[in-house]
Amino acid sequence: MLGAYTSLGFVIVFVIRFFVLKKFIDRSDLINQAKMQFVSEYVMVLLIGILVIILNNVVFSVPFVNGIVFFIGFIAFGFFVAVDMSLEKERWVIQHALNNADVINVPKQFYPLTRKFFIVALVTNLLVMIIIILIVARDLTWLAQMDQMQMSLMIDMTTKTIFKEVVFVITILLCLVTNILYSYSKNLKMLFQTETRILESVTNGDLSSLVPVATSDEFGVIATNTNKMIHGLRDRIRILARLGLAKEVQENLLPNKAPYFSDLDISGISLYCEEVGGDYFDYFKFSENKVGIALTDSSGHGVGAGLHMTTIRAFFRYGAEDYKGPSSLICAVNKHITRDSYETGRFATVFFVEIDLGTRLIKWIRAGHEPALLYSPGNGTFLKLLGDGMALGVDADTSITEHEINGWEKGTVLLIYSDGLKESRNTRGEMYGEKRITKIIEKYAGMSAKTIETKLIEDLNDFRQSLPIEDDITIVTVKFI
């Protein structure tokens, strides 16, 4: 009859279980379903035990105290059943997330995997100890109720009985524990394979998939952080693509060749420390005998400096259409830059030079920029084209001082550059410096402007060794031929 009542209890609870799973567990958040499954299964198994005890008390008048040992068995059995069903639900959640590409955020409450293992192991040990103690205590109580004659006759039989009972219980418990460990291993395998597959795809450049977050333990945290990494890489790729486009646009803003003059050889180049930069150089052919060269360096570098550079270029191009001289051009450009960028705190240093082949005059304006170098090969001397002037974009009414020199000898070299060239550092922290620049000019002054420029860059690269460019570098070389 006990078996019949137990079976009846299972049938009743199974019907209740069907509605509980459909109405509560299957409709809850995926990541909480495994936990809810454990609680529901455990409670229902315990309800079966309570129901059987009540039926025995009502039908057979069995005292409730006698059902304690029976109920402890349900506690142990229910625990293993609930853990196994919870792990099965977790596998279903993982597979469902994989099939539907669901990405769930880890809940605020975190359940470490190590803690789960510890709790399961601890409860298992306690249940095994309690059951063995109850078996031994029951048999010892039975022996205590015998007289000495009976005990001497039954001792061997009792010992074998106790031994068989303990072995049987331990075997059952070992089977249940092995089943749980097998379920855990299947879940861990699914989680490892999923994470590994996504990471392999990311390594191969495929960022189309995310890791389903199906647990609230370390795997859930790893999956969440992996997804954040993938989102970050996607954003990074989008930014790089846009920066690549910006770089292409900016390269098209710089002159791809210098204007032709029979008595001049001109070459220029910009090297940016990022995809886009703030350095800018340009040529302005005012007439057949007159050319203007501008080199500017916007504060900072990167996208912000690059946007500032495009604005400065527009102002120079606009002002060059009504060119009246270096001072008027730089004054107009300064007013526009100050109006647009004064509130941002951005400014730009400028070196502008006008070369008039007819009058053999060199006029220049230095606004906070590195002074240009004028090398005369006849006497091997350098002249710094100095001059006082504030950077543009600081004060719209700042005075612009214009300087000039008359005449030059054949083979004279004019080098205009941004501070990124001179201030480049090597692995020992040394700056490239002006002295190295002048040595290259002296050594290759007899070569073309492009050759001088190339040799400067080669020497700079040898000096920097493996270090990246720290600041934008722009060089314009003019050779009077």
The pLDDT of residue 1 is: 53
Confidence band (pLDDT; 50, 70, 90) for 90?
Answer: confident
The pLDDT of residue 12 is: 65
Greater confidence (40 vs 382) lies with 382
d(CA 414, CA 381): 12
Rg (CA), the chain: 43
The pLDDT of residue 453 is: 96
Contact between residue 133 and residue 239 where contact means Cβ atoms under 8 Å apart: no
Q: How confident is the model over 87-93, as a mean pLDDT?
A: 84
d(CA 334, CA 55): 98
The pLDDT of residue 158 is: 62
The pLDDT of residue 13 is: 63
In this predicted structure, the answer to whether residue 128 has a pLDDT above a threshold of 80 is no
Q: What is the pLDDT of residues 68-83, one digit of tens each?
A: 777 777 788 888 888 8
The pLDDT of residue 22 is: 67
Q: What is the pLDDT of residues 427-441, one digit of tens each?
A: 899 999 999 999 999
Nearest alpha carbon to residue 258 among 93, 445, 477: 477
The one-character DSSP state at 261 is B
Contact between residue 297 and residue 277 where contact means Cβ atoms under 8 Å apart: no
Q: What is the pLDDT of residues 148-194, one digit of tens each?
A: 555 555 566 666 766 777 777 778 878 888 888 888 888 888 888 88
Considering the chain, what percentage of its residues have pLDDT values greater than 90?
Answer: 33
478's enclosing H/E stretch is: strand 473-480
Q: Could you tell me where the DSSP H helices lie in 101-214?
A: 113-144, 148-203
**Phi/psi-derived region of residue 411, left when phi > 0, alpha when psi is between -120 and 50, beta in every other case:** left
* Averaged pLDDT score across all residues of the chain: 83
| Interhelix angle 433-444/449-464, nearest 10 degrees | 140
In this predicted structure, the answer to whether residue 51 has a pLDDT above a threshold of 90 is no
Greater confidence (56 vs 471) lies with 471
Contact between residue 305 and residue 420 where contact means Cβ atoms under 8 Å apart: no
Contact between residue 347 and residue 393 where contact means Cβ atoms under 8 Å apart: yes
Per the DSSP assignment, residues forming a β-bridge with 283 are 293
Contact between residue 21 and residue 28 where contact means Cβ atoms under 8 Å apart: no
pTM for this structure?
A: 0.60
- Check the CA dihedral 109-112-113-115 and report its sign: negative
Considering the chain, what percentage of its residues have pLDDT values greater than 70?
Answer: 83
DSSP string, 407-450: ---TT-EEEEE-HHHHT-B-TTS-B-HHHHHHHHHHHHTTS-HH
* HSE-up (13 A, CA, CB side) for residue 385: 29
Tokens of 236: 């990074």
Domains and CATH numbers, the chain: 2-234 (no CATH), 258-480 (3.60.40.10)
What are the percentages of helix, strand and coil residues in the chain, rounded to 5?
60, 15, 25
